[in-house]
Amino acid sequence: MRRTCLVAATAVLATAVSACGVLGGGGDEADLQIYSARHYDLEEAFAAFEAETGVSVEFIYGDDAELLERLDAEGDETPADVFMTVDAGGLWNAAERGELAAVRSPTLDKAVPKDLRDPDGRWFGLAMRARTVTYNPDTVDPSELDTTDTYAALADPKWQGRLCMRDSTASYTQSLVASLIDLYGRDRTLEIVQGWVDNDVEIMSNDILLLEAIDAGVCDVGINNHYYLARELEADPDLNVELFWASQDGAGTHVNISGAGVVASSDAPAEAQQLIEWLATTGQSDFVDANHEYPVNRDTEPEPVIAGFGKFERMPLNAEAYGDLNADAVDLLAEAGYQ
């Protein structure tokens, strides 16, 4: 069985490989090769899978676009068995391009909620993250925050000079805006984003800087992935930032997923499906806890730090909207002058 780290033929494909490693010992080959855009906290989960099943795994890392380009270029000769990414839109795009096989799995159908998996079985969500509002409790009373359309309400002039948000190139920003286009339509979403810009939103290059800015009083309110706050609170319980579940009286809090699918040309599809099933069931806690993500499997409890955030109602996830409307979201952000 072929399992080696390929060297891409072009410079574009070469940039897709940021790391290539094999768990376990005894040689350079592995039973499964994973093309992964998920770069964090994988080793413990996959070492547990290998110990339990005897199936070894190997990784090639990159972002969604790089890995999909690599799959396209390699065609039927790709060594990849599993495609894993951190955005529902990326999973949808991979499926639409014919890169993922349809699998039949009662195990996954039971473990993964319907809107967090492809109706044709080409991909499955494995970990969930919420992108919601964070605030400084010294300067914001939570009663100031709208409970129906929280993201839209940040366009209100009362937040002038008080907002911090992520940059327009972040997939987090693009997926949030795509979900708003799906929810409100383009014209209303453009009004919302222009409102953020008119409020002199402070743009941050990553979520950690954003949380630090809120803690330091640079801004009062931001939008963050929940797990970044969990990480920071674990390191510094005195961090002066609190979480507010967005739109609980409306559409719910925006969520996205990390997920995976079996590569269509895999020569080990049974083992690839076994891995994805394990990650959604026996290995759920191993996969999500280290990064403070929410399990997709309702039978798995969240780890203690995020359990302390309380329960919330989430916005139904529309992977097609995240993928198909991504270009519209990018254009809208540019039109609004959002940097």
Is pLDDT above 60 for 174?
Answer: yes
User: DSSP 3-state assignment of 156?
Assistant: coil
Smallest CA-to-CA distance from 173 within 339, 309, 41, 39 is with: 339
Is pLDDT above 80 for 25?
Answer: no
Q: Which residue has the higher pLDDT, 18 or 224?
A: 224
pLDDT category at 18 given cuts 50, 70, 90 is very low
**pTM of the entire structure?**
0.90
Q: Which residue has the higher pLDDT, 28 or 127?
A: 127
Summarize the confidence of residues 198-213 as an average pLDDT: 97
* CATH of the structural domain 11-127+257-301, one choice from 3.40.50.720, 3.30.497.10, 2.60.40.10, 3.40.190.10: 3.40.190.10
Summarize the confidence of residues 293-307 as an average pLDDT: 97
Output DSSP code: residue 339: -
pLDDT category at 38 given cuts 50, 70, 90 is confident
Is pLDDT above 70 for 1?
Answer: no
Summarize the confidence of residues 181-208 as an average pLDDT: 98
Which amino acid is located at 318 in the chain? N
129-254+312-336 is a CATH 3.75.10.10 domain? no
What does pLDDT average to over the chain? Answer: 91
> Where are the chain's structural domains?
11-127+257-301, 129-254+312-336
Output DSSP code: residue 140: -
pLDDT category at 64 given cuts 50, 70, 90 is confident
How crowded is the C-beta side of 81, counted as CA atoms within 13 Å?
25
Q: Which residue has the higher pLDDT, 183 or 43?
A: 183
**Distance between CA atoms of residues 245 and 294, nearest Å:** 14
The pLDDT value given to residue 41: 66
Is pLDDT above 50 for 233?
Answer: yes
Is pLDDT above 50 for 277?
Answer: yes
Beta strands in 137-226 (DSSP E): 163-166, 202-204, 221-225
Q: Kindly give the interhelix angle for 43-53 and 269-280, rounded to the nearest 10 degrees.
A: 120
- Is-contact 210 163, C-beta < 8 A? no
